[in-house]
Structure 1
Amino acid sequence: MVLNIWAFLNTVNFIVIIIQALFCVAWVLFSLNSKRTSVIVLTSAVSAVILGASIFAGNLVFSIILFFILISLMANTVKIVNEYQRGVLLRFGKFAYVVGPGINVIMPFGIDRMLIVDLRTATIDVPRQEIITKDNIPVNIDAVVYFNVFQPELAVLKVQNYFNATSLLAQTILRAILGKYDLDEILAKRQELNEMLREELDRATDPWGVKVTATEIKSIELPEEMKRAMAKQAEAERERRAKIIRAEGELQAAEKLSEAAKIIAQNYGALQLRQLQTLSEIAVEKNSTIIFPLPMEILKFFANKD
């Protein structure tokens, strides 16, 4: 009976050691992905020590304890970085290197510390800013900023929080640039101002490893008094254009009538035909009294008969 229990314990110990060996191999393979000699040497040495101690001890309890130690070390050292992320690794508080995507192994016990940085394009909804234009008109302007991190180490080492820093800088630059222009220029040159804002913001955030790809002014809100004044101005402008168009139409009509009068004056019969045509147009409605002028030539004809 004792021999059977001993054989069973040895079998379980052997299975635990096999599982340990598989985890150690996986741990070493993960460390190879980091391509860092120090990490590879550390994981290989720790794996060899744990596996050798389990084999030479021949104790099931000791092997299980070492197995849990191995699992704990792997949980603390194996880090997964997504494709759209990069890890900034600090070793003893100093920048070591940028960790690429995939499964990576770092040193445990606080030796290495990895900070994850997202490389995808992010958006900042710039809060509404009250700006005094160059012609002393208060306006409220909303904007949005599109940016992404192109150097993760700078985004971690050069600024405490690059997202908040970019947002506050965008507000400052928005007020500084738009305050140099009149209201009419802001309304008419929105695309040019967007590009100017992008260039200024990108130049300021470049030392942080942040690339500003676009800025857009979403809305420009005017005071009610200014809206009414602009509405009156637009109405007056439309009336001016309507009067000019009407006057141009009268001028063109007068020119055409003058040409027609000259043509009709050259032939007396043309005037008679025009009178008859006018009578036919009037007679269509059948609700008018027509006084037909009698030509003097006809009266002369009757006078000659007498």
Structure 2
Amino acid sequence: MVTYSIAVIVVLVVILIISMFKVLREYERAVVFLLGRFYEVKGPGLVIIVPFIQQMVRVDLRTIVLDVPTQDLITRDNVSVHVNAVVYFKVVDPKMAINNVENYLEATSQLSQTTLRSVLGQHELDELLSAREELNRGLQGILDQHTDNWGIKIANVEIKHVDLDDSMVRALARQAEAERSRRAKVIHATGELEASVKLQQAANELNKSPNAIQLRYFQTLTEVANERTSTIIFPLPINLIDKLTADDVSEMAKIKLQGLDSNKEK
């Protein structure tokens, strides 16, 4: 009976001795408490913990990837959007991460959700779609400031998706189509303006040289003559019309009437 009791005691002592030794990996730290009070941070490697007197809490120092659930929010220009993000953070002070917050993982997740809604709700939809880098830096700075007392370092924040309702997508498509039409009209009007300016400049240059006008006139006649047309209209310069007097017009009318009379006699 005595031998059995001794054997049991020996086994318990061996178990206690074995339980005293803890091995921590390179990315782990042990927050040690002595009789309920913080004692020290140990690790990595072999750590000795006195049973019943000391307690140990493991802390992972690796970067944690936190997927922030989709948040429904209203932008500053009253557009309903659905936004989700991802937060990269790590524990830099194990003592603060254990002593200053009950669950630093849950606390960081909840803080990320509320910050995402409050910050992005202050911006317009165009900013959410075009200025993500700036918004990411703003979110990172705010989260890092709030988690500093928890021993948490926010490494990065990335907005993943900004989703719109179907009605808003159709409205944006109509807006984009109207914008493209407006730009096309502006470009066409600009081209017409430039063409009119160039035409005016060409007219001014031709007015400086009457011979150039005549050469251009003959060139045009040559081009028209080369075309397969049954009717050719010769433009009459305005200055020739101005030189016609009333007598000239009357004489031309008489000639026309004589021609008509001769046709009737035939």
TM > 0.5 fold call: yes
SS of alignment partner, residue 229 of structure 2? coil
What residue in structure 1 maps to residue 82 of structure 2? 140
In the alignment, is the contact (CA less than 8 A) between 2:88 and 2:157 conserved in 1? Answer: yes
Report the Cα distance in structure 2 between the residues aligned to 1:283 and 1:89, rounded to whole angstroms: 106
Partners of 1:260 and 1:294 in 2: CA distance: 22
Paired residue for 1:47?
none
Determine the C-alpha separation between the residues in 2 that align with 1:120 and 1:296: 92
Correspondence 1:70-109 to 2 at 5 A = 72-108=15-51
1:224 pairs with one of 166, 178, 184: 166
* Aligned partner letter, 2:64: A
Residues 141-161 of structure 1: CA deviation (Å, up to 9, x unaligned): 111111111110111112221
Equivalent positions of 1:1-306 (< 5 A) are: 72-108=15-51, 110-274=52-216, 288-289=228-229
By how many angstroms is 1:126 displaced?
0.5
Counterpart CA distance in 2 for 1:173 and 1:76 is 43
SS in 1 for 2:122: coil
| Residue identity opposite 2:175 in structure 1 | Q
Q: Between the two proteins, what is the percent identity of the paired residues?
A: 46
| 1:268-306 Cα distance to aligned partner (Å, 9 max, x none) | 44335445656777899x7x4385566889xxxxxxxxx
Structure 2 counterpart of 1:210, one-letter code: I
Task: Tell me the CA shift for residue 72 of structure 1.
Answer: 3.1
CA contact (8 A) 2:70 2:83 kept: yes
CA distance in 2, matches of 1:94, 1:239: 72
- Of 265-274 and 202-211, the range deviating more from structure 2: 265-274
Give TM-score scaled by structure 2 length.
Answer: 0.76
Say whether the 8 Å CA contact 2:35–2:54 is kept in structure 1. Answer: yes
Deviates more, 1:68-77 or 1:167-176: 68-77
Partner Cα distance (1:107, 1:281) in 2: 110
Per the TM alignment, residue 102 of structure 1 is displaced from its structure 2 partner at its CA by 1.4
Hey, what's the Cα distance between the residues in 2 that align with 1:99 and 1:295? 104
Q: Deviations over 1:81-109 (max 9, x none)?
A: 1111211112222211001211222213x
| C-alpha distance after superposition, 1:207-250 (max 9, x if no partner) | 11111122121111111111111111111111111111111111
Over 3 Å counting, the alpha-carbon distance change for 1:125 and 1:268 in structure 2 is same
CA distance, structure 1, for counterparts of residue 138 and residue 83 of structure 2: 16
Distance 1:160 1:253, change over 3 A: same
Q: 1:9 matched to which residue of 2?
A: none
Residue 71 of structure 2 contacts residue 82 of structure 2 at CA under 8 Å; is this kept in 1?
A: yes
CA separation of 1:232 and 1:204: change in aligned 2, threshold 3 A: same
Deviation, structure 1 residue 70: 6.9
Aligned residue identity for 1:202: D
Structure 1 residue aligned with 2:257: none
SS at match of 1:229: helix
Distance 1:296 1:168, change over 3 A: closer
Paired AA for residue 134 in structure 2: E
Q: Partners in 2 of 1:279 and 1:220 — Cα distance? A: 65
Q: What's the RMSD between the two structures over aligned residues?
A: 3.1
Q: One-letter code of the match for 2:43?
A: G
SS of equivalent to 1:117: strand
Unaligned runs of 5+ in 1: 1-61, 298-306
Cα distance in 1 for partners of 2:225, 2:34 equals 105
